[in-house]
Structure 1
Amino acid sequence: MSTIQTTFRMLLALMIGAVGSIVFIYLSLPLPWLLGAIFASSIAMRFENLPILSPKPFSAPARILIGLTIGSAFTPEILQFIDVYFYSLILVIPYTIITIIAGMYYYHKYQGFDKKTAYLSSMPGGVIEMVIIGEEIKANISKITLVQSSRLFFIVVSLPFVIQYIFKVDISGNKLITIPITQTNIPEFAALALLGIIGGVIAKKIRLSAAYLIGPMIVSIAVHSTGVITTSVPDEFLKFVQVVFGTIIGFTFRGVKLKTIVKTLVSTFGHFIILMIISAVFIAIAYYSFGFPIISTLLAFSPGGQAEINLIAILVVANVPYITLHHIVRLFIVMNLAPIFARKIKD
C-alpha cells in the first residue's frame, strides 16, 4: 500500500470520527469531540471492507499539543501552590500499589490469567509500555492489550457522564476550550510548537516515558511559568486532538472477534468496578483532608491514560497542574515497579 493510500485511509477514519463528534454535539452529549469519535470509529471498524486505518501516526503530534496545553496551565500564580499538593501526592503511592495488587488478584483468581499476564493487566496506565514488558517476559500480549484498552475505554467513556450528570459540570456541545485560532498570536504559537517538537524528540532520545507528552509539557512549563510565552494551543487544534484520540481508541478492537471483545469487556468491567471503589476511597480521603475541588480530585485519582485524563481536565477547566502531577507520580511508580517485579514473577 502506497503512502498516499495509507494517508487517505487514515484521513477517512478521522472524518468518520469527526462525523460522530458532530452527531454527539447535536445530541448535546458530554465531551462530543472525544466520545463521538470513539463511538463512530468503534462502529466503522467492524465493517472490514471500509478502506480505513487507525490514525496512529497522528498520535505523536496530538500528544505534543496536549503536553503544550498542560504546560500552559503552570502559570507563575499556580506554581505558588505546588507545596500544597505534597500530601495529596503522597497518597498516590498506596493508591497505585493497592490498585495493582487488587487487579492482579482479580485477573489471576477469577479470570484465570497467568500471574505475569494478570500483573501487567492490572497496571493503571501505560498500555504500550505494558505490552513491551509483556513481550520481554513472555506474558500473553493479546490479553494485556485487550484488557488495558478496555479499561481505558470504560474510564474515558464513563468519566464525562459522571462529571456532567452527577457533578453538574456542563461539558456538552461545541464550547470553546481555549481561545480560537483567529485570536491566537500565530508567531508565538509557532515558536511554542517548535519548542514542543524539540522537547518531544529529546525526551524520546533519552527514553523518557510518554516522551511526546512529557517532553513538550516540560518545555511548555518552562516558558509559561517564566512568562516568556503566554500563548496556548488554539481551540481548533484541541478539538482535532480529541478526534484523533477518539478514533484511535475506537480502533483498539479491530480484527478481534466480537465474542472475544464482549468477553473481555465483561471481565474488565469487574476490574473497573474494583478500580472505582479504590478510587472513590482515595478521592474521599484527598477531598475531605485537603479540600481540593472535587472534579480535580476525581481526575487526579482516576486510573486512566495520562494523555486522556489530562485532556478531560483541560476540557472541564479543572486544576491541570494538580491533576498532572498526580498522574506523573503514578506513571513513575508504574513504569519503575512493572519491569522490576514482572521479571521476578513465577507461575
Structure 2
Amino acid sequence: MHDTLTTRLAALGRFLPTLALGLAGGGLAYWLEVPLPWLLGAMFATTLASLAGVRLRSPGRGRKGVLVVIGVMLGAAFTPEMSGDLTLWGASLSMMLLATAVMMAFSVWFSRRVAGHSLDTALYAGVPGGVSAVTGMALDSNADLRVVGMTHAVRILVLLVAIPPVLKAIGHVDLGSATPDPAQWLWLPGPVDSAWLAGAGVLGAWLGHRARLPNALLFGPALVSAALHLSGVTHAAIPPTLIALAQVIIGISVGVRFTGTSLARVGHTLVMATLQALCLLAIAILAAWGIHAAMGVSLPAALLAYMPGGAPELSLVALSLGIDPAFVTAHHLLRITVLILLMPVVLSACRRSSGKLWP
C-alpha cells in the first residue's frame, strides 16, 4: 500500500510541470479572450512543447478521473424540461450513421491510395472515433501503431482548432458568452448536491465497466447522472472551476500525444493526417448542414455531433459552449457503440476485397 502511494505521488510530481504548462497556456488564452481558452490554450502549449522536443508527462490516471467528471457533467444536461423532438433526434442519428460510413470509406481510401499506408494501418487509422478502443484493437494487427495514433491525435487537434472559426462562420453561436464571469469561479454546489454528483461518478464508472460500455469512464457516469437529473432527484450543476480544469487536462492529453515526435521524421504522416482530417471535417459540415436544412436540427449541435471522433473532447466543447450537450453526447455514444460492434465485420470485409479495391 505504501509503495503504491509513493509511486502515485511520484507520478503526480513528474506530471506537475506539464500541468503547470497547460494551466499557463489556458490562463494566457483566457486573458486573450480566446474561445474555449482552457482547452485550446493547454492543447496549444503542450503540443508546441512536445513538437519542440520537450518530454512531457501524460495525465495518466488523472485523465481517467477527468473522464468521470466530464461524464457526470454531461449527464446533468439531461433535464426533465428537455423538449427534444424524438423525430428530429431519430433523423439526426440516422444522418450521423450515414456520415460516419462515408467518413470511414473515405478515410480508408485516402490512407491507402494517397498516404500509401498498409491496409491494416488504413483501417485502424480511418475509424472516425473511439481512439482508445481502436488503438487497443490495433495492437493485435499488423498496423503501424505510430501512424494510427498520430492520425487520430492530429484529427482531434484539427477538429478542436477548427471549431471556433467554423461556429463563428455559421453565425449561430456567440462564443464570447460561453466564458464564465470571474466572480463565478468560486461557486460550489451544496453538500447534498455534491454527494449526488460524486455518487453518480463512482456508481457510473463501476456500472460502465460491468456493462462493458464503450469509453466506460465517460458514458457510465453520464448515464447515471442523466438518470438522476431526468428523474428530478438532483438539479446539481458542476462548478466552472472544475469544468476549466477538465478542459486543461483534456487539452494536455491531446498535446502530449506528440511527445517524441520529430517534424523532420514524421512530416509526411502529419501532412497526410491533417489533409484527411480536413476532408472529414468537410463531410461533417455537409452532413450537419443537410440535416439542418431538411429537418431544422440545430446546426452547431449537429456539427459537434457529427465530427469524427474525440467523444470526450467534443462533448466537453458542447458542454462548455452550451450547445445541447445531451444531443451531442447521445450521438457520440451511438457512433462509438456501432463502430466497436461492427469493426470486426468491416475489417473482415475490407481484407477480403482488398485486392479488388486497393491493389
- TM-score tier after normalising by the smaller chain length: over 0.9
Alignment of 1:43 with 2:77, yes or no, is: no
Q: Report the Cα distance in structure 1 between the residues aligned to 2:315 and 2:31, rounded to whole angstroms.
A: 25
- Comparing 336-345 with 224-233, greater Cα deviation is found at 336-345
Distance change in 2, residues 1:198/1:303 (3 Å): same
Aligned equivalent of 2:303, options 279, 298, 301: 298
Tell me the equivalent position of 1:103: 107
Alignment of 1:267 with 2:272, yes or no, is: yes
Letter matched to residue 279 of structure 1:
A
User: Match of 1:203, SS?
Assistant: helix
**TM-aligned CA deviation for residue 224 of structure 1:** 0.2
Compute the TM-score of the two structures, normalised by the length of structure 2: 0.89
User: Match of 1:288, SS?
Assistant: helix
Aligned equivalent of 1:112, options 104, 110, 116: 116
Q: Is the 8 A contact 2:92 2:302 kept in 1?
A: no
Q: Is the 8 A contact 2:154 2:277 kept in 1?
A: no
Tell me the equivalent position of 1:329: 334
Q: Report the Cα distance in structure 2 between the residues aligned to 1:48 and 1:9, rounded to whole angstroms.
A: 17
Distance change in 2, residues 1:186/1:76 (3 Å): same
Tell me the equivalent position of 2:142: 138
- Structure 1: segments with no counterpart, 5+ residues: none
Tell me the equivalent position of 1:206: 211
**TM-aligned CA deviation for residue 182 of structure 1:** 2.7
Letter matched to residue 4 of structure 1:
L
Tell me the equivalent position of 1:156: 160
Distance change in 2, residues 1:100/1:80 (3 Å): closer
**TM-aligned CA deviation for residue 112 of structure 1:** 0.9
What do residues 16-54 of structure 1 show as CA deviations (whole Å, max 9, x unaligned)? 10000111122221111000001111233356566x411
- Comparing 203-212 with 171-180, greater Cα deviation is found at 171-180
Q: Report the Cα distance in structure 1 between the residues aligned to 2:191 and 2:86, rounded to whole angstroms.
A: 31
Q: Is the 8 A contact 2:187 2:240 kept in 1?
A: no
Tell me the equivalent position of 2:61: 57
Tell me the equivalent position of 1:31: 36
Q: Is the 8 A contact 1:21 1:37 kept in 2?
A: yes
Alignment of 1:93 with 2:83, yes or no, is: no
Q: Report the Cα distance in structure 1 between the residues aligned to 2:209 and 2:63, rounded to whole angstroms.
A: 14
**TM-aligned CA deviation for residue 142 of structure 1:** 1.3
**TM-aligned CA deviation for residue 242 of structure 1:** 0.3
Letter matched to residue 290 of structure 1:
M
Distance change in 2, residues 1:26/1:107 (3 Å): same
Q: Report the Cα distance in structure 1 between the residues aligned to 2:177 and 2:93, rounded to whole angstroms.
A: 33
Distance change in 2, residues 1:71/1:20 (3 Å): same
Compute the TM-score of the two structures, normalised by the length of structure 1: 0.92
Aligned equivalent of 1:186, options 188, 191, 210: 191
**TM-aligned CA deviation for residue 180 of structure 1:** 4.9
The alignment's C-alpha RMSD in Å is: 2.3
Q: Is the 8 A contact 2:18 2:46 kept in 1?
A: yes
Q: Is the 8 A contact 1:26 1:173 kept in 2?
A: no
Tell me the equivalent position of 1:278: 283
Q: Report the Cα distance in structure 1 between the residues aligned to 2:23 and 2:165, rounded to whole angstroms.
A: 20
Q: Is the 8 A contact 1:11 1:55 kept in 2?
A: no
Q: Is the 8 A contact 1:31 1:172 kept in 2?
A: no
Q: Report the Cα distance in structure 1 between the residues aligned to 2:241 and 2:34, rounded to whole angstroms.
A: 19
**TM-aligned CA deviation for residue 276 of structure 1:** 2.4
Q: Is the 8 A contact 1:55 1:248 kept in 2?
A: yes
What do residues 117-136 of structure 1 show as CA deviations (whole Å, max 9, x unaligned)? 11111111111211111112
Q: Report the Cα distance in structure 2 between the residues aligned to 1:242 and 1:166, rounded to whole angstroms.
A: 24
Aligned equivalent of 1:216, options 217, 221, 232: 221
Q: Is the 8 A contact 1:74 1:321 kept in 2?
A: yes
Q: Is the 8 A contact 2:189 2:236 kept in 1?
A: yes
User: Match of 1:278, SS?
Assistant: helix
**TM-aligned CA deviation for residue 291 of structure 1:** 0.8
User: Match of 1:215, SS?
Assistant: helix
- Comparing 131-140 with 159-168, greater Cα deviation is found at 159-168
Identity of aligned residues (%): 26
Q: Report the Cα distance in structure 1 between the residues aligned to 2:25 and 2:185, rounded to whole angstroms.
A: 22
Q: Is the 8 A contact 2:70 2:316 kept in 1?
A: yes
Tell me the equivalent position of 2:246: 241
**TM-aligned CA deviation for residue 179 of structure 1:** 6.5
Q: Is the 8 A contact 1:79 1:225 kept in 2?
A: no
Q: Is the 8 A contact 2:135 2:145 kept in 1?
A: yes
**TM-aligned CA deviation for residue 174 of structure 1:** 8.2
**TM-aligned CA deviation for residue 267 of structure 1:** 0.4
Distance change in 2, residues 1:80/1:43 (3 Å): closer
**TM-aligned CA deviation for residue 187 of structure 1:** 2.6
Q: Is the 8 A contact 2:172 2:299 kept in 1?
A: no
Superposition map of 1:4-19 within 5 A:
4-19=9-24
The alignment covers a number of residue pairs equal to: 346
**TM-aligned CA deviation for residue 165 of structure 1:** 5.3
Q: Report the Cα distance in structure 1 between the residues aligned to 2:238 and 2:15, rounded to whole angstroms.
A: 23
